[in-house]
Amino acid sequence: MSAMSPSRRRVLVYAPLAVAGAAGLGFWAMLRGLQDGSFNPRGVPSALIGRAPPDFALPEVEGAGLPAFAASDLRGTGRPVLVNFWASWCVPCIIEHPQLMALHREGVPVLGVNYKDRPADARTFLGRHGNPFARLGADQPGRVAIEWGVYGVPESYVIGRDGLVKWRWAGPITAEMMPELRRLLA
């Protein structure tokens, strides 16, 4: 067995320290971004902002008693609407549900896309927590969500009076967000 050269030995000793230092620097930069507000983990931009939503036609959620949901339901409404992607198995969807119910009581059209869910589970969820949706489509294969650029549920979009996407939020709508959301939906 041959002896290792001193320069190679130094590389083997200092390489892990360099990797750890780079990781620490990256973590420090992320924390600074969190402090000054420039880092937003939900801030992944949407290619749909300022554009019409993709064309789609979803079947109704079987047995939910709500009309199916299609892109044509977003055109010519004369007022902003909220499109919400959700699922019964989604824990953050439970967190945001009271806010959706409040918007529904205020007369805001909330249109739902039930993502990769079983109809019976969706019906049970709505029976337990209330139904905020004017229309509800079943996206069991997840194709419509992909076309919209959805990263996961819940995810919501505001469609303006002109039928264009004005706003996107990845994650649950919280009580703290409601004043800004109401402004967008006015």
pLDDT per residue as tens digits for the range 66-98: 999 999 999 878 899 999 999 999 999 999 999
The rounded radius of gyration (Å) of the Cα atoms in the chain is 23
Q: Is the pLDDT of residue 7 over 90?
A: no
For 57-185, CATH number? 3.40.30.10
Q: Looking at residue 142, what is its pLDDT?
A: 97
Does residue 1 have a pLDDT over 60?
no
Q: Return the exposure string of 114-147: e unless at least 16 CB atoms fall within 10 Å of the residue's CB, then b.
A: bbebbbeebbebbeeeebbbbbbbbbeeeebbee
Percent of the chain with pLDDT over 70: 84
Domain ranges of the chain: 1-39, 57-185
The whole-number pLDDT of residue 41 equals 45
